[in-house]
Structure 1
């Protein structure tokens, strides 16, 4: 009889356990960090971010009307609201203003020849338009040779301006 009582109690407990229900909640959390990546070539971007290839200034020593214009070279896309600081630094023979948006530069030519001038950078931002796109930054850089450089010999001149994108 003792065995039957235990079996009956076990069946009673099993039956009542299956009839009970319980609910619970699972909370999902996510943290979005400020991040940026290089989108790619200018041609794939909105025209407002600069889609032109580098142009060559046609310079004469009589005036400084020749201006070379180029796209910054890269456009970055960042999570919406990320603060981005964009600065440019010329090579060893140039200067940059504190804001990194303008300065002087010496372009090198053949045979040690050089051409002095001023550079400026314009930065444009296209705000995020959907959940699938971020804020995009790009723009253009110009170089204007200084007037009166009669010692500059005929030929091609070039220099490198490094553009840095910083964010946090």
Structure 2
């Protein structure tokens, strides 16, 4: 069953960084984009500090939420969550890598996503810090930028005769 959501607001807006803490300096926007293109999932490592972000990823984020993927302040992609969260250590059947891939093996918690749009060069948000952040204040500049981007994507899809579809 397919539901047209062009007139229905998404559930929540998020922005997320895909990089291990110790790899953040070595990675660039291109590395993050390549992971999204190849695997179509977002994920988090398992860590003790900021455990609340893992809980948000597993329990608060929902299917159909919109997640802006960033590297620092640079935007990389606008995505739609299309599946539930899982722990790759507990369900190897969901593993999409046939052999070890250091670029994603650190992501213990994962969610499948659909890429809605790739960011243009120089497209940024002011809030670059933090691995996973829910846009809780609609008036905040970061929230407004992500919302504006989502609206442009919807307009672009509509012009092509396509729509963002609820899954």
Bin for the TM-score computed over the shorter chain = under 0.3
Higher helix content, 1 or 2? 2
Higher strand content, 1 or 2? 1
TM-score, normalized by length of structure 2? Answer: 0.26
Q: Which structure has the higher relative contact order (CA within 8 Å, separation 6+)? A: 2
